[in-house]
Amino acid sequence: MVAADFVVVANRLPVDRVEGPDGEVGWRTSPGGLVAALEPMMRNVNGAWVGWAGQPDAEMEPFENGGINLIPVPLSASEVAEYYEGFANDTIWPLYHDVIAPPQYHREWWDAYVTVNRRFAEAAVAAVAQDGTVWVHDYQLQLVPQMVRELRPDVTIGYFHHIPFPAHGLYAQLPWRDQVLRGLLGADVIGFQRAQDATYFLTAVRRRLRYEVKGSHVTVVENGGATRTAVARAFPISIDTAPYIELAQREDVKARAAEIRASLGNPARILLGVDRLDYTKGIRHRIKAYGELLAEGRLKVEDVTLVQVASPSRERVDAYVHLRDEIELAVSRINGDTDTMGHTAIRYLHQGYPREEMVALYLAADVMLVTALRDGMNLVAKEYVATRADNRGVLVLSEFTGAADELRQAVRVNPHDIEGVKDAIMTAVEMSPAEQSRRMRSLRRRVLDNDVDAWSSSFLKALAEVHSR
């Protein structure tokens, strides 16, 4: 493969390798917001994407898929357990999401994280052309920027953090807090979702490393005493709006939305939740609030249905196993108490769906419930808004998501406040069409004017500016 001027490095490739029952190999779109946001940009540039194919012990040659050059990085079964399920998703993920679940600190996990980060850095360095650009993504790879810089000082390095960065009082728990900051500061530009995340990061840099920080500029002191500038600031990510708008206009997708409504018994209001099954998403809080509204008679099962899509995620990490049990118990209790033969309170789907079906669901939903306890951005909120071309529908949005900084006309909630969530659901269910339309118009303007192209362009522009200095 020829050297690429532009290399993206992320834990996951845009597609996962899947093996069928007879051992035949297929490819499936990878889960999560990161892949959804990066894929459209990569289709338009001549670059390479370095990542893991989602299966342990799969040694693969570089290949092309959907017009993108993919460079697989192998992970052994023990590295999947210690680097991916362990350090990335049972140490960093809960710590950075405000310790909603207790983070586990294990030295062997950290060692695996260092080893695997080095492998990704080496793969990136092998792929990138002289004076090229490497753009590293997300919390699984926080050491890669510094590792790339040490191996290849000619390369321009960007890093984007898709999840929250925690307040210093929490970050300081991390036994490897200084190493992680130095790893990130290997980048020329370190991008975050919210201004608050960048501020927390800069505070940690000042307090732990004692580097000079002026506005968003950090004076990084290299080994040997030389200095250079790194920039840390917010670049709120978005979605590729075009395919959502197109699908929402397609007659077959509209027909599917009507079919979904009919199969639920044509309730007056459909509420929708769409999340990876993750404890950060506030699925339990949402279900509790909804269940109480039914129990109190403020909502009637004949009139409303909550569709909850909870796509399977990180199923071998304990916190996720427990969460699934809790949610499924809560769902079946509420359904058992309130369902009639013809109507269900909650249609719960522990499955992932293709985009067509998701858009049909968005079109069918009168109210979209995004009640995350903490979320870097939450692209589901933006997807819902993008599909609502008729300006109908209500977005209920947690103030603890990155999206809340931008989507000011949503019905805002504090998901910890169950009475508040109940009132927000009632406000949404009872909102007049005129009020829906006033709010949705402004939400749509915001999402359509700031799509994922605007995000990647502004990040890459900032990167070019720093480098040319």
Contact residues toward ligand G6P (CB under 6 A) are 11-12, 31-34, 89, 138, 162-163, 313-314
CB of 30 to ligand G6P, least distance (A): 7
CB of 61 to ligand G6P, least distance (A): 23
Q: Is the Cβ of residue 211 or residue 459 nearer to ligand G6P in the bound state? A: 459
Q: Is the Cβ of residue 313 or residue 450 nearer to ligand G6P in the bound state? A: 313
End-to-end CA distance of the chain: 31
Q: Is the Cβ of residue 29 or residue 338 nearer to ligand G6P in the bound state? A: 29
Comparing every residue's Cβ against ligand G6P, the nearest one is 32
CB of 89 to ligand G6P, least distance (A): 6
CA–CA dist 162, 36 (Å, integer): 12
User: Which tokens is 180 given?
Assistant: 């992680």
CB of 87 to ligand G6P, least distance (A): 12
CA–CA dist 365, 453 (Å, integer): 27
CB of 267 to ligand G6P, least distance (A): 31
Q: Is the Cβ of residue 188 or residue 375 nearer to ligand G6P in the bound state? A: 375
User: Which tokens is 228 given?
Assistant: 């250079």
CB of 303 to ligand G6P, least distance (A): 34
CA distances from 220 to 27, 181, 394 (A): 42, 11, 46
Q: Is the Cβ of residue 314 or residue 388 nearer to ligand G6P in the bound state? A: 314
Neighbours of 142 (CB within 10 A): 25
Q: Is the Cβ of residue 37 or residue 413 nearer to ligand G6P in the bound state? A: 37
DSSP category for residue 141 = G
Beta 304-311 vs 68-72: how paired, if at all? Answer: unpaired
Q: Is the Cβ of residue 11 or residue 91 nearer to ligand G6P in the bound state? A: 11
CA–CA dist 310, 301 (Å, integer): 21
Q: Is the Cβ of residue 379 or residue 394 nearer to ligand G6P in the bound state? A: 379
Where are the alpha helices (H) located in 153-207, listed in sequence order? 168-171, 177-184, 195-204
Q: What are phi and psi of 117, to 5 degrees?
A: -60, -40
Beta strands in 277-344 (DSSP E): 304-311
CB of 275 to ligand G6P, least distance (A): 11
CA–CA dist 370, 401 (Å, integer): 9
CB of 33 to ligand G6P, least distance (A): 4
Q: Is the Cβ of residue 95 or residue 257 nearer to ligand G6P in the bound state? A: 95
Long-range contacts for 428-437 (Cβ within 8 Å, ≥24 apart)? 428/271, 428/366, 428/367, 428/394, 428/396, 429/269, 429/271, 429/299, 429/304, 429/366, 429/367, 431/394, 433/392, 436/391, 436/392, 436/393, 436/394, 437/391, 437/392
CB of 11 to ligand G6P, least distance (A): 6
